[in-house]
Amino acid sequence: MGRLTMRASTVRAKSSRDPFAHVTYGAETAEYATLVLEPPDRLRTSAVRLRLVIQLEGVTKHYPRSNRPSVEDVNVFIDKGEFVFFIGPTGAGKSTMIKLLLREEVPDKGTITVGETDVTKLRRWKVPAYRRSIGCVFQDFRLLPNRTAAENVAFALEVIGKPRSVARRVVPEVLELVGLGGKEHRYPHELSGGEQQRVAVARAFVNRPLLLLADEPTGNLDPDTSIEIMRLLDRISRTGTTILMVTHDSNIVNQMRRRVIEIENGQIVRDQARGVYG
Amino acid sequence: MRAKYVMSEVFLGLWRNISMTVAMIITMAVSLTMLGAGLLLYNQVDVIEEYYQTNLEVVVYMQRDVTEEVSEKIGEELRASPYVKQAQYESQEEAYERFQETFAETKDLVDSVDPEVLPSAWRVEMHDINDADQLIADFAEREGVYQVTNQRDILQEVFDILGGAQRLTLVVALVQGVAALMLVANTIQVAAYSRRREVAIMKLVGAPNWFVQAPFVLEAVFAGVIGSIFAFATLIAAKFLVIDGQFSNLFSLMPPITMQSILILLPILTGISAVISAITAWITLRFNIKV
């Protein structure tokens, strides 16, 4: 641990903006010991802590007719710009939480507020508009196979009725941001897993959502590529986007040292500001 | 942009599932043809009723050996009846002429009938044809009267036949219609399944529900419209080939089915099939694509 801290200070000297800046590629790349992630510096964080983005109060959801994981009296408050890890064993209820936040499910009890929206009282027809304020990234990328990277990103704009001129302007920018400049016209099968996930992140981020939900975004990626994706998410988090990431990757959690919320049997057993996987 | 996307999805969806699309269009066309035929018959009954309503008569046939005196007396009494507007005598010769005219095309029949066989008659024009039964009751048993017939009773048989044909077409239309709608539901399910990726992503990025559903609903509407056009073409063909063609003699007994009454079916059939297809598709989607 001491070694890590020391490393962190040297890294800070190099670049205070990119926690992955020191990660070198090649032989040492997979060496996690060299990957040191600093938490965002305190001043910055307090500056963006203007309001709560997520409030879960006494949220309970049971599935009486199936053995899907339920959640029991969950209370979570997450600020704007926070980066939060959701950890816990399979079946603990993490994905149910994501479903509740996406309003794919409605809780039995309790209230969920995202931004200004009371999700529990949201009318059905208002759900699409609500989802536009949330970006989503998944383990399996969920790209359209018959569309290029740029078209996949543009699709998110297209289906919510943004004019084509907006897509022409915004899509290249976002792809550049996620590091896919020059690969706009590749199809998903012509991209590596990491690149496909970058497209997915670009699509989630293109509408500048308030909240980005990432359900095991590195689950299908090798360690190197995972680091790249984490670096990308970190950069996005620094733009003020709240990120909620479900993960089983202990290395990432341990080295990012961000807020960790651990769930077990549908209940929060730990909520730690700069937690480790544990 | 979005319209173009939706349209390309519609045609892609129909093409991907072409056998189902064809089956859907055929059953719809059959159902709508039957519905169209049923509507034509319904209209036809109205036309016939209207056509004859003013011309319907009660005919009082006299016995063949009736004397002129008795016949005249019946005529006077008929004229005196409150129900009767006008009564006209038709002699045996006149009856024979009418008979010749009516069956001019079947010479053998005309030749086989003697003028003396046909009875003379009083053709009675009523104030209200609905009072015919009372008039018949008054005169049927009178001396010299052979038989009193109400033309409406004869017409009623024609109506019964038309009504039966109409019911048959409507039943076939209904059964085929149910089959067509089940095919629509099935097609929509298949389409929704083959496009589940797109649908999931669209919902995830917050596409409005109507936008997610539009390609599917329009697919059904498109098939419905094509089916109604085929049905319309079939009815036009039936008019030229069957009614005006092969069976023209049979149909000449009733007023002709006008081109106009067929033309008006195009918007009716198209509208009905488009709306019902759309509703079916939409209901199917509500069970398949949850928000």
Higher pLDDT, B15 or A213: A213
Query: Does residue B151 lie in a domain region?
Result: no
Q: Which two tokens stand for residue B111?
A: 């030749």
Do residues B48 and B69 both lie within one domain? Answer: no
Q: Are A183 and A175 in contact (CB under 8 A)?
A: yes
Any CB–CB contact under 8 A between A123 and chain B?
no
Asked if A158 and B1 come within 8 Å (Cβ–Cβ), the reply is yes
The residues that bridge with A71 in the sheet, in sequence order, are A61
Nearest neighbour of A159 by CB, restricted to B197, B205, B291? B205
Contact state of A128 with B1 under an 8 Å Cβ cutoff: no
Strand order in the sheet with A211-215: A134-138, A211-215, A242-246, A83-87, A259-264, A267-272
- Confidence band, pLDDT 50/70/90 cuts, at residue B107: confident
Q: Are residues B243 and B281 in the same domain?
A: yes
Residue B21 within a domain:
yes
Query: Would B206 be classed as within a structural domain?
Result: yes
Q: Which domain, by its residues, includes B186?
A: 2-52+156-286
In a domain, B92, yes or no: yes
The reply to whether residue B1 touches residue A131, judged by beta carbons under 8 angstroms, is no
Q: Looking at the 3D structure of chain B, how many domains does it have?
A: 2
Is the ipTM beyond the 0.90 threshold? no
**B228 domain residue, yes or no:** yes
Residue among B198, B201, B209 minimizing CB distance to A125 = B209
Do residue B73 and residue B27 come from a single domain? no
Is A109 touching B (CB cutoff 8 A)?
no
A131:B208 CB<8 A: no
- Higher-pLDDT residue of A277 and B138 is A277
- Minimum mean pLDDT among A41-55, A125-139, B15-29, B65-79: which range? A41-55
Q: Poorest-confidence range of B42-56, B87-101, B176-190, B209-223?
A: B42-56
Last-in-domain residue among B143, B165, B185: B143
* Among the listed residues A193, A183, A203, the one whose alpha carbon sits nearest the alpha carbon of residue A223: A193
A144/B201 Cβ within 8 A: yes
Same domain, B135 and B194: no
For residue B9, the chain A residues in CB contact (below 8 A) are none
Domain co-membership, B69 together with B89: yes
Contact B1 A124 (CB under 8 A): no
Using the beta-carbon criterion (under 8 Å), do A156 and B208 form an inter-chain contact?
Answer: no
What's the rounded mean pLDDT across residues A198-219? 94
Q: Which of B198, B200, B206 sits opposite A128 (nearest CB)?
A: B206
- Write the pLDDT tens digit of every residue in A9-63: 444 444 445 555 544 443 333 344 334 444 444 444 444 445 789 999 999 999 9
**Residue B34, both tokens:** 């039957």
Residues B161, B264, single domain; the answer is yes
Residue B148 lies in a domain: no
For residue B212, the distance in angstroms to the closest alpha carbon of chain A comes to 8
One domain for residues B136 and B271: no
CA distance A249 to chain B (A): 25
Nearest CA in chain A to B202: A159
Q: Does position B63 have pLDDT exceeding 70, yes or no? A: yes
pLDDT category, B46, cuts 50, 70, 90? confident
Last residue of a domain, one of B143, B167, B185: B143
Q: Is the pLDDT of residue A258 over 90?
A: yes
Residues in B closer than 8 angstroms to A137, CB to CB, are none
Residues B260 and B171 occupy one common structural domain = yes
Q: What residues in B contact A160, CB-CB < 8 Å?
A: 205-208
Residue A16: the pLDDT is 46
pLDDT of residue B3: 78
Q: How many CB pairs under 8 A join A and B?
A: 56
Interface check A130 vs B, CB under 8 A: yes
**What ranges in A132-182 are assigned the alpha helix state H?**
149-158, 164-177
B261-265: which pairs have CB atoms within 8 A and are 24 or more residues apart? B261/B40, B261/B43, B262/B36, B262/B40, B262/B232, B262/B235, B262/B236, B265/B36, B265/B39, B265/B40, B265/B232, B265/B235
Name A84's bridge partners.
Answer: A244, A259
- Chain A contact probe: residue of B194, B201, B203, B205 with most A CBs at under 10 A: B205
Look over chain A and give the mean of its residue pLDDT values, rounded to a whole number. Answer: 84
Are B166 and B126 in the same domain? no
| Any domain includes B202 | yes
**What's this model's pTM, rounded to 2 decimal places?**
0.70
Cβ of B5 within 8 Å of Cβ of A144? The answer is no
Tell me the per-residue pLDDT of B224-269, one tens digit each, with 9 for 90 and over: 999 999 999 999 998 888 877 777 776 666 677 788 888 999 999 9
Looking at the fold, whether B132 and B227 belong to one and the same domain comes out as no
Q: Which residue has the higher pLDDT, A159 or B54?
A: A159
Cα–Cα distance for residue pair A97/B90, rounded to 1 Å: 95
CA dist., res. A191 & res. A183, Å (int): 8
Reduced to 3 states, what is the DSSP secondary structure of residue A120? Answer: helix
Residue in A with minimal Cα distance to B206: A128
pLDDT given at position B53: 66
Structural domain contains residue B58 = no
Where residue B85 sits, what CATH number does that domain have?
3.30.70.3040
Flag whether residue A207 sits within 8 Å of chain B, measured between CB atoms.
yes
CB contact under 8 A, B198 and A144: yes
Claim to verify: residue B40 and residue B164 sit in the same structural domain: yes
Of B143, B178, B200, the residue that ends a domain is B143
Does B209 lie in the same domain as B93? no
Amino acid found at A167: A
Residues of B in contact with A164 (CB under 8 A): 1
